[in-house]
């Protein structure tokens, strides 16, 4: 393979003296260098050549992508005049070119972290270089945290270098501290950036047509000197772009080359190698960083990329086509300015650019962390929440992921990895599908399960709202599918493949031909993964039951039971509810497992939970696969309509009720508790719980506050509920408690001696100085008071007190008509200051009454 350009011309060499000086007194280096400066190929060589690796140590260079890993290793091996596997090598999943003499080792990010499972101290590794760290892949974040922990403990000699063109040094500097920051300005040429005048509008203007038109316009305006790089989100869009360019006169005679991670190595090499004549490379974001393609002067950017993101509907990580960030757009544009001034045309408007995110969201914030949490657990990290994350997953995402790992059997009851969980780590798949493939190996169903996994990764296979006639025709042609929507999807894909993904034939059955076309390569990849892990790939078709059991193994946390035959309403494990999709094949099943759970917002602000891609299952399967997740329990409920407590004996699976048998009598304690709640909430009224009861409780509470040293119990909400439970004990309905005696039970909270204290110091009645007796009115959180007509107060010149003088009484003075005329605690002051005026007013109204 020819050199792209001479390494001696690379801008990164200007930082070599600073790097040599830094590593003499620091073991953490933060290096920022522009795109195309040569850092990916030259920094590892510098570390080796300046002796930073010792005599035998290796530098491991971590890359976010497999394609860049291989091509960078080939390039460095060529520059050093050797073969891959000698001084320079690489390792990606299921492929290794590393020998005993390898000193520079390129790897994808997850490889090193998995190696730590068997070699915790990384013997022989002298330095780790995290390249293109700005992409913030999950395995890069976690491997960096582990490398720093290794430095702090058993490997203080380990050198860690973190580098990228667009590093967030504000986040990384304090995280790596103490560290040395080195910046390289590079020697980039200017790149002119242009935008569309109006936005593209979906299907009428697909990005590949827009890219072909943009290239034709660039040629017409003299902007297409040198080679061209066009960015598209995936292999399908790349192929459509190449087809569109072939029909463009401006691209006539140009060499059209795809570049993406699924291509054979020789085709990838052809895209990045110098060619005679014009070259147009159509690539995914693998060409955004690490790889420099010499001669690129024009970049046409669709502004799209396939981004890994957790899909809560499917419960897995999927690749979704999304708009790239401003930082990614700048990275792509910079590809045009490596060797000469360039031109970048963005297939979106300036207004749309202003609305784009500044940076890409770190992967840890947008994917399901289940796989990485299982890896950390396997590394011996028990408390994953306390792990030194650069940025931690969202708490809800972590909680959900740990729950899933328990449900899959990957973690034991203590939260440690089970043997099954450690086996699942061997697969580069979401844990759901790792679990399904392991189950498939036992049941001879690897092929269909790999196909289901492939179908799940991409866009939906079926057109939404295809219409009743299309759905019926689909079922007629594809036949009976054994109570599983996934079986129907598999048959639909086989139908599309057998008809060569013909758009017309697919449309008649409501199948997305483009989505179906993308399934085949993924299926083959998953089968290769299965074979590499020595799973037996069957030759005979398995039974439908075996396939369904494998589906259950991966989605046991989404088991549901129909509530009744008349509706599609379902209860799910872990206390959730939902509704089965109307067009589901599993609409006759009592028990089912749903591969997708959609939460759809309604106009009233509520959420509709819709279960799709369902498969009928049997209770016997659950008992066979998850015997420890069953429980027999007594369920007690309050029937508000009948105003009584009911009970039933239930068999549950992870909280989901599978069978229930009514009981004649509910447990006494539970029945009393629920009846008491009903009384407290006002659903039931006790006839004997009247004024006398409330007065007694107010008297006790008042005295307890006035004399805390007497340690009287008080009637708070908890005490009220406890007393009500005592009153209700032995009963199961409102009818049983409606007329039950109350006061004796309420008073029983106090001992006889304490009750005597209350009667003495907070009595029901009090005697005035004129020997009249009047009732005392008590209330919660209010002062006690008495009331009397003026004539009843003649001869009274002072008010009595309660609680041995600690609680004064308030007096409500009434007219002969019993209407209040004065409220006071100062009776002498009343007679002296107010009575003369009041007497004068009232004597005219009530002349027959006595007035003194």
How far, in Å, CA of 426 to CA of 182, rounded?
A: 38
% of the chain at pLDDT higher than 70: 96
pLDDT at 368: 86
Residue of 285, 286, 287, 293 lying closest to 324 (CA atoms) = 285
pLDDT at 362: 87
pLDDT at 688: 94
Average pLDDT score over residue span 560-586: 89
pLDDT at 732: 94
pLDDT of residue 602 exceeding 50, the answer is: no
How far, in Å, CA of 46 to CA of 34, rounded?
A: 18
For tokens 């089970």, what's the residue?
418
pLDDT at 564: 84
Q: Which two tokens stand for residue 661?
A: 């048998």
Q: Is 39 left (phi over 0), alpha (psi -120 to 50) or beta?
A: alpha
pLDDT at 426: 85
- pLDDT tens for 231-257 read 999 888 999 999 999 999 999 989 999
pLDDT of residue 3 exceeding 50, the answer is: no
pLDDT at 474: 85
pLDDT at 384: 93
Give 63 or 1, the one with higher predicted confidence.
63
Range scoring the smallest mean pLDDT among 202-211, 469-478, 596-605: 596-605
Q: What is the dihedral of CA 166, 169, 170, 171, to 10 degrees?
A: 90
How are strands ordered across the β-sheet holding 125-130? 95-97, 88-92, 104-108, 58-63, 125-130, 159-164, 28-32, 180-183
> Is the pTM above the cut of 0.75?
no
pLDDT at 293: 81
pLDDT of residue 316 exceeding 60, the answer is: no
- pLDDT tens for 53-72 read 988 899 999 998 888 899 89
pLDDT of residue 684 exceeding 90, the answer is: yes
Cis, peptide link before residue 88, omega less than 30° from 0: no
| Whether 338 contacts 189, CB under 8 Å | yes
Average pLDDT taken over every residue of the chain:
89
- pLDDT tens for 606-634 read 567 888 899 999 999 999 999 999 999 99
% of the chain at pLDDT higher than 90: 66
| Whether 662 contacts 718, CB under 8 Å | no
**For residue 1, what pLDDT band results from cuts at 50, 70 and 90?**
very low
- pLDDT tens for 362-371 read 888 888 899 9
Average pLDDT score over residue span 390-394: 91
- pLDDT tens for 114-149 read 888 889 999 999 999 999 888 888 999 999 999 999
The string of DSSP letters for 449-508 reads HHHHHHHHHSS-SBPTT--HHHHHHHHHHH---TTBHHHHHHHHHHHHHHTTT-HHHHHH
Range scoring the smallest mean pLDDT among 292-296, 637-641, 848-852: 292-296
Average pLDDT score over residue span 360-382: 90
């Amino acid at each position: 393979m020819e050199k792209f350009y001479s390494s001696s011309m690379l801008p990164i060499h200007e930082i070599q003296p600073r790097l040599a000086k830094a590593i003499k007194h620091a073991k953490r280096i933060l290096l920022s260098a522009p795109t195309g400066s040569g850092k990916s190929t030259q920094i590892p060589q510098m570390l080796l050549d300046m002796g930073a690796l010792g005599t035998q140590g290796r530098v491991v260079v971590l890359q976010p992508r497999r394609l860049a890993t291989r091509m960078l290793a080939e390039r460095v091996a060529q520059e050093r005049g050797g073969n891959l596997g000698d001084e320079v090598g690489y390792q990606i999943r299921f492929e290794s070119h590393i020998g005993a003499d390898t000193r520079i080792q390129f790897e994808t990010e997850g490889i090193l972290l998995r190696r730590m499972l068997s070699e915790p101290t990384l013997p022989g590794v002298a330095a780790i270089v995290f390249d293109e760290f700005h992409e913030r892949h999950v395995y890069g974040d976690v491997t960096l945290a582990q490398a720093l922990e290794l430095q702090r403990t058993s490997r203080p000699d380990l050198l860690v270098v973190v580098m990228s063109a667009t590093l967030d040094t504000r986040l990384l500097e304090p995280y790596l501290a103490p560290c040395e920051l080195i910046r390289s300005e590079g020697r980039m040429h200017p790149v002119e950036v242009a935008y569309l005048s109006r936005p593209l509008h979906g299907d009428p203007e697909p990005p590949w047509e827009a890219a072909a038109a943009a290239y034709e316009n660039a040629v017409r305006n003299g902007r297409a000197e040198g080679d061209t790089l066009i960015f598209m989100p995936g292999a399908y869009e790349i192929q459509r772009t190449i087809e569109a360019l072939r029909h463009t006169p401006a691209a006539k005679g140009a060499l059209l080359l795809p570049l993406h991670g699924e291509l054979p190595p020789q085709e990838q090499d052809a895209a990045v190698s110098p060619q005679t004549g014009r070259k147009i490379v159509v690539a995914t974001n693998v060409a955004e960083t690490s790889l420099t393609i010499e001669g690129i002067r024009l970049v046409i950017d669709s502004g799209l990329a396939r981004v890994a993101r957790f899909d809560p509907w499917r419960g897995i990580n999927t690749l979704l086509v999304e708009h790239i960030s401003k930082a990614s757009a700048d990275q792509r544009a910079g590809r045009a300015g490596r060797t000469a001034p360039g031109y970048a045309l963005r297939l979106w408007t300036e207004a749309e650019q202003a609305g784009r995110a500044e940076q890409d969201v770190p992967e840890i914030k947008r994917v399901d962390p289940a796989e990485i949490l299982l890896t950390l657990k396997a590394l011996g990290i028990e408390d994953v929440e306390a792990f030194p994350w650069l940025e931690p997953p969202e708490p809800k995402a972590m909680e959900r992921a740990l729950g899933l790992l328990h449900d899959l059997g990957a973690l034991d009851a203590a939260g440690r990895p089970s043997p099954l969980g450690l086996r699942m780590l061997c697969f580069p798949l979401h844990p759901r599908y790792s679990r399904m493939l392991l189950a498939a190996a036992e049941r001879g169903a690897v092929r269909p399960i790999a196909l289901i996994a492939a179908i799940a990764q991409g866009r939906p296979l079926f057109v939404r709202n295809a219409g009743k006639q299309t759905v019926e025709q689909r079922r007629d042609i594809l036949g009976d599918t054994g109570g599983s929507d996934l079986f129907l999807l598999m048959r639909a894909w086989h139908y599309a493949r057998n008809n060569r993904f013909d758009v017309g034939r697919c449309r008649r059955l409501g199948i997305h031909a483009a989505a179906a076309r993308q399934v085949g390569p993924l299926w083959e990849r998953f089968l290769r993964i299965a074979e590499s892990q020595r799973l037996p790939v069957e030759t005979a078709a398995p039974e439908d039951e075996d396939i369904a059991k494998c589906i259950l193994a991966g989605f046991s946390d989404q088991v549901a039971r129909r509530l009744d035959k008349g509706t599609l309403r379902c209860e799910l494990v872990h206390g959730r509810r939902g509704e089965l999709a109307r067009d589901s094949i599993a609409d006759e099943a009592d028990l089912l497992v749903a591969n997708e759970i959609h939460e759809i917002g309604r106009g009233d602000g509520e959420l509709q939970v819709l279960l799709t891609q369902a498969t009928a299952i049997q209770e016997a399967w659950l008992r066979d696969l998850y015997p420890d997740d069953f429980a027999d329990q007594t369920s007690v409920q309050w029937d508000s309509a009948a105003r009584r407590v009911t009970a039933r004996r239930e068999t549950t699976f992870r909280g989901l009720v599978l069978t229930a048998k009514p009981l004649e009598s509910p447990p006494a304690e539970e029945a009393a508790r629920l009846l008491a709640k009903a009384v407290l909430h006002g659903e039931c009224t006790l006839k004997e719980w009247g004024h006398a009861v409330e007065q007694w409780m107010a008297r006790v509470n008042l005295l307890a506050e006035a004399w805390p040293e007497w340690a009287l119990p008080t009637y708070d909400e908890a005490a009220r509920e406890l007393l009500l439970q005592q009153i209700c004990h032995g009963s199961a309905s409102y009818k049983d408690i409606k007329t039950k005696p109350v006061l004796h039970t309420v008073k029983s909270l106090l001992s006889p001696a304490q009750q005597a204290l209350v009667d003495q110091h907070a009595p029901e009645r009090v005697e005035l100085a004129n020997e009249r007796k009047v009732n005392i009115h008590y209330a919660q959180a209010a002062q006690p008071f008495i009331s009397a007509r003026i004539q009843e107060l003649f001869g009274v010149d002072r008010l009595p007190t309660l609680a041995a003088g600690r609680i004064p009484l308030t007096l409500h003075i009434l007219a002969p008509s019993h209407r209040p005329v004065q409220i006071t605690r100062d009776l002498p002051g009343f007679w002296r200051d107010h009575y003369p005026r009041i007497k004068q007013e009232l004597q005219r109204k009530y002349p027959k009454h006595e007035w003194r």
